[in-house]
Amino acid sequence: MTDKAPGDFATVDAVADHVAKLVEGWASVIRCKAALYGGAACDRVIMVVFRDFYQPPPEDDYCVWDSSRPMLCEDCATDLRLLDIVP
């Protein structure tokens, strides 16, 4: 499936970009959208949702998980004080 070994990636971001390329077309790559809330441009991969396998329950407000959803990673949500975490 891939010709890459763990040592081939210099950063976590490089791994995320490689995963995004692998799943293109059959999964949604959800990235941090902190800039929409006044934070720094993060673009960190939050999750990969395989479209064929995820069906939200009727009471789910998100309805469809896709890359346009304004979601944030935990670090950005904490920095913007949108998530209360007690150290």
For 6-54, how does the pLDDT look when each residue is reduced to its tens digit (9 = 90+)?
A: 778 888 788 888 888 888 877 878 888 899 889 988 888 888 877 666 5
Q: Is residue 36 part of a domain?
A: yes
Rounded Cα–Cα distance for residues 44 and 21 (Å): 15
Cβ(76)–Cβ(34) under 8 Å? yes
pLDDT of residue 1: 46
Domain holding 42, by residue range, is: 6-79
Cβ(44)–Cβ(31) under 8 Å? yes
Q: Is residue 62 part of a domain?
A: yes
pLDDT of residue 8: 80
Please state the domain count of the chain.
1
- Mean pLDDT value across residues 68-87: 77
Rounded Cα–Cα distance for residues 9 and 18 (Å): 9
Calculated CA dihedral for residues 9, 10, 11, 13, nearest 10 degrees: -60
Q: Is residue 42 part of a domain?
A: yes
